[in-house]
Structures are given as structure tokens and as C-alpha cells.
Amino acid sequence: MKEEFLHYIWQHQYFDKTNLLTVEGEPVQVLRVGMYNTDAGPDFKEAIIRVGEVDWSGSVEIHLRGSDWRRHQHQLDFKYNQVVLHVVWEADEAVRRTDGTLIPTLELKARVNLAMLQTYEQLRRAPYAIPCAIFWPQVPDITKTMMLGRALTERLELKGEEVLQVYRQLGNDWEATAFQVLCKAFGFKINQEPFERLARALPMQVVRKHQHDLFQLEALLFGQSGFLTEPVDDYSAKLANEHTYLSHKYNLQELAMPRHHWNFLRMRPANFPTVRLAQLAALLHKHKSLFSTIIQTEGVKNYDALWQAPVSAYWQKHYTFGAESKAVQVQLGKSSAQNLTINVAAPFLAAYAVHTDQQEHLDKAVDLLEKVKEASNRITRQYEELGWKAASAADNQAALGLYKRYCQPVNCLRCAIGNKIMKQNLPTT
């Protein structure tokens, strides 16, 4: 057993309260459970506990054993002087504040339905990626739907907060934030890290000054990415010369990346990082205010079109420098465009919803994801095996949020599905 189980039992008051007594023999009544505290200090704050005939306002601390109080050295910590009740599974030792005064203790071992404990241990020790897999059919669909909706909102809010962190780091510059987030997404997992490094190697204030010129954008992007150190044809030589001039002008030399950081192995030519860089240059050239465009665009089809931009004539015939090809896929594929909608547009809308305190931006993000069709992945297939089907990117994002925040860390007691399973074994007294 872990303390989280006792936290859950206390928070929901899932124990027998008949003739409730402290281990010291005094009657005890819970008037207010208190607020669960995830920071340092006692577990539940602002509780009200009646011991005997006196109402005490303060905190409740929870341990598996009474001796854990001393083991955690709470007797030396002034933050714990406010504790008015010590709740334990087994009271093996009395506890005191820093001034030596005794703290009433409540033992729960004989008051908790053991079937609930057994269910908790089954979830905690389950040999499945989805801990509640064997219980899943017993849970009402409405509970699953509600929890998946909550997981989607939490995931969007988390992604939005990541965008806001970048925004703060970049001095509250939305366009610089859009550039950095877009670069990361343009890596499409395999080249995500080098694209992130590129965003740091090429400041947005430099990009801004040259968005009107596609050739100069390519010189900056390919040069800072390390692809122009050894030109192999006339065009790469011209880009290299332009990059040399611009890098000296803006002191970019020390920020430039080595070419070997980029991955080409086991990739279709249309996904080569050179092609992605050409597409990124075209996109930056097309949208002088990318952030505003992301926020103001309406409809899935318009978002698909947002990510498409005509690449330069050279990249209409090349996948890499120096190797001309007759048939080149110069536009982002539909799945790649949808990936950018999911991983750039939706998080930006969520971030802007928090920044402006306007819920409609978050609602727009959810609506957008609900209209994007996305293939299942390794994680969502695990839920599909339990009988759940994803119909959109919103469903996939919900499943990812549920898995990463609740299933993977076995955080079942904070999940509505896990809570429903636990409630099936509520005490009858």
C-alpha cells in the first residue's frame, strides 16, 4: 500500500465512521476534510476536526504508520505544528509537535473496506499498459467519455503552457514563439531535436528582416543548419556566399550547427530535412505574421492550406543539394499538414486562451481537433483493443493525455475511470 491510497480514502471519506474514536479514546468528527495539498507541508489544509467537544481548525497529516511522523522528522518542522489530526493505517507510535504537545491520531486499518484495498492493489500491480484493462468493460461509457474529455482539455492546457513558457523566455514575442514552436514541429519526431537547435541558432529578429526574400531565408536556414559548408553546385554556392555575408552581418557564426546532426536514414526523400527546410523557408516567406495567421484562421481546410507554400524553383527539382530529380513532391503531404495543425495550431490556440482569458480559443482548438482525421498510434491502439475507437485527432489526443497523465504513472485514484472502479467496493456501513 502507498500513502496515496490513504489520501484517497480520507479525501472521499471512504471509511466506517461508526463510533469514531482517536487512539487516545476521544470521540472524533470530521467537519471539513480539508484541501488536498500537493506542495510541501501537511497533506490536507484548512480542515476542521471535532475532538471531544472542541472544534480544531488546521491541517491533517496522513501516514501509513504513526512512526513515519518521526521518521520524516515532522517533530522538528514548525510547518507541522498546525496539524490537528494524524491519520494513519496503523498507529504504532504517538506523535507530538515541536513543543511536545500530543497530536490526536486516527487509525483506519479496521475501518476501510478491504475489497477497496484489494481493488487498489490490483490496479497498482496490474501487468498491463492500461492498469484498469480487466475492469474496463464494467465502467459505464459515460464515465469513459467524460474522463477522455477531461484528459483532452488537460493535454491541451499542458501543451498551451509549454507554448507560454517559450513565449516568456523569448521576451513575450509571439512571432518568435511561433517560429520556435513551428521549427520543433517541422522535425516530425525524427529530426525534431536538430530543428529545435536550428530555432536557437537563428534568432527570429534576423528572420524578420529577410522574410520578404525567399533566397535569403534559404541562405539563413540552410547555412545555420550546416548544409552550406561544402557547396556541391551553383545554387548551394550562391546560398553559401549569401549566408557568409549575413552570418557576419548578424554575428551568427558561432550559432551555426554541424551538418551531421541531421537524420536522413530510412526516410522517404519527401521527408528529407533539406526538403523540410525549403518548405519552412517558403512558409516563413508566405506568412509575414505567422502567429496572427494561426490564431485567425478558421476551418480545417484553411489550416491545411495555411501550411502549404510554394518552394523555390530549385527545390521543385531537388530533394538534396546537387542531385536533380524529375518528379519531386514539393508540398507537405496531408498527414504532415494535419500534424502541424495538431501540434502547432491547437497548442497556440490553447496558450492564447490562457493569455487572453478567452475560452473561445480553447473551444476552437477542441473543435479543430474533432474535425481532423488522424490514424491511430501505438498508444491509442491499446485502448482500441479494449473496445474504444478513436474517430478524430481529438480522440487520439485524449487517449494520449489519459495514458501519459494517468495510466502510465498508475495514477488511477485521480482518474474518473479508476474512481468508478474503486466505488464498486465502497463500504456498506
- Model pLDDT for residues 360-384, shown as the tens digit of each residue: 999 999 999 999 988 888 899 999 9
pLDDT computed for residue 427 by the predictor: 55
- CB-count burial class (<10 Å; 0-12, 13-18, 19+) for 234: exposed
Block residue for cell numbers 491533517: 60
Q: At what angle do helices 174-186 and 346-356 cross, to 10 degrees?
A: 150
Average pLDDT over residues 377-403: 93
Rounded to an integer, what distance in angstroms lies between the CA atom of residue 137 and that of residue 4? 25
Q: Give the pLDDT confidence of 324-346 residue by residue, as tens digits.
A: 988 787 888 888 999 999 999 99
Is the pLDDT assigned to residue 424 strictly greater than 90? no
Long-range contacts of 204-209 (CB under 8 A, 24+ apart): 204/170, 204/173, 204/175, 204/176, 204/179, 204/180, 205/176, 206/246, 206/250, 206/252, 207/179, 207/284, 208/175
Query: Do residues 421 and 138 touch, judged by C-beta distance below 8 A?
Result: yes
Q: Give the pLDDT confidence of 59-101 residue by residue, as tens digits.
A: 999 999 999 999 999 998 899 999 999 999 999 999 999 988 9
Q: Which of 144-158, 352-366, 370-384 has the lowest mean pLDDT?
A: 370-384
What's the whole-number average pLDDT of the chain? Answer: 93
pLDDT computed for residue 300 by the predictor: 92
Q: Which residues pair with 103 in a beta bridge?
A: 95
Is the pLDDT assigned to residue 211 strictly greater than 70? yes
Torsion on CA atoms 131, 136, 138, 144, rounded to nearest 10: 110
pLDDT computed for residue 429 by the predictor: 47
pLDDT exceeding 90 applies to what percent of the chain? 86
Q: Give the pLDDT confidence of 44-60 residue by residue, as tens digits.
A: 999 999 999 999 999 99
Cell of 69: 511522523
Q: Give the pLDDT confidence of 212-222 residue by residue, as tens digits.
A: 999 999 999 99
Rounded to an integer, what distance in angstroms lies between the CA atom of residue 243 and that of residue 222? 8
Using alpha carbons, select from 375, 409, 422 the residue that is nearest to residue 395.
375
In this structure, what are the phi and psi dihedrals at residue 223, rounded to the nearest 5 degrees?
-65, -45
pLDDT exceeding 70 applies to what percent of the chain? 99
Q: Give the pLDDT confidence of 276-319 residue by residue, as tens digits.
A: 999 999 999 999 999 999 999 999 999 999 999 999 999 999 99
Q: 103 Cβ partners below 8 Å, 6+ apart?
A: 83, 84, 85, 86, 95, 96, 97
Average pLDDT over residues 175-188: 94
Q: Give the pLDDT confidence of 16-40 residue by residue, as tens digits.
A: 999 999 999 999 999 999 999 988 8
